[in-house]
Structure formats: structure tokens, C-alpha cells
Amino acid sequence: MKTRPKTRPPKKFWDKIFESIAIMGLLIGIYLAIQAWSNLPTTIPIHFDAAGNADGFGPKGMIWLLPAIGVVMVPAMLFLRRVPLLSNLPFGITEENASYPSGLIIGLLSLLACFVSLLFWLLVYDTISIAFGGSSLLGWLFMPIFLTGIMGPIIWYFIATLRGQ
């Protein structure tokens, strides 16, 4: 770790876009929870099956769980982008190749922060919608969206890393 060169490639256009979306998604999720809080019933859906149906219920205070997790996870991912070479890499880092894996890690964390933020926002929205007697926005699409959103960037990162070494 001490022998790794200290490089910090500039953020690309898309990294800035994904960062902005991640922050906005986080703030919208918090806003939705604040706005709905006083009118929420005492019991709200807190768990959904793979088809998007509510199958677990709990106290209305659970509406804050996802925004609270998001407030920790999203800024942590956005902060870790600032020190990309702290990450584990499948090959050695030299002065010549340091900017490429650093750029990939920045892109990966930007994408994941964006997706996690949007996912939490949608889950808060769905929870509120179902609590008020509405239907789920995601429904059966939840699992494919979730798996694609998490695994897609990770697979892209590994393929791009192996191609670029």
C-alpha cells in the first residue's frame, strides 16, 4: 500500500452527474419521509417479497430506516472515491497504470452511490404508497432492477479492469 503512487484522476462528466443524482435521490427520500410522517398509519410495510408485495409490517418509525442507511452509505461511497487506491485491486499499481484503475473505481463508486440512493428513494416511496392504500411502483420489477443495478456496475468494473491491465 505504501508503494502505490498517489494519483487522483479528475472526475469525469458522468461521475459528476451520478454524484448529483445520488445526492438528490437521498434528499428526495428524506423529504418524502418527512412529508408523509404525520399522516402515516401506525403500521407500515417494512418488507417486500420478490414480487414487490408487502409481506412484513412494523411501526411507522421504520420509515426512517432506509434514509438513515442512505445517509451513511451514499456519502461514504462518495468520500471513498476521493481515495480510490485504498481499494483492493487484482493487479499491481505502478506510476504508469495508476490513473486507469483509479478512474474505474471512481466510476464504480459513483454508479453504486447513484443506484443505492435511487433504490432507497423508490423503496421509501413504495412504503408510503402502500401504507396509504396505494399500490407498489416497482412490483415484480424490483428484483430484476435491484440485481441489475448492483451487479451491472460490478461486472462492468471487473471486465474493464481485466481489459485494462
Of 5-14, 28-37, 113-122, the range with the lowest mean pLDDT is 5-14
66-95 residue pLDDT tens: 999 999 999 999 888 887 767 766 666 777
pLDDT band at 142 (very low <50, low <70, confident <90, very high): confident
Whether residue 33 is predicted with pLDDT greater than 80 in this model: the reply is yes
* Among the listed residues 65, 36, 64, 67, the one whose alpha carbon sits nearest the alpha carbon of residue 133: 36
- What cell was used for 50? 420478490
Check: pTM over 0.75? Answer yes or no. yes
- First CA to last CA across the chain, in angstroms? 18
Say how far apart CA 107 and CA 95 lie, in whole Å: 20
With beta carbons less than 8 A apart as the criterion, state whether 112 and 150 touch.
yes
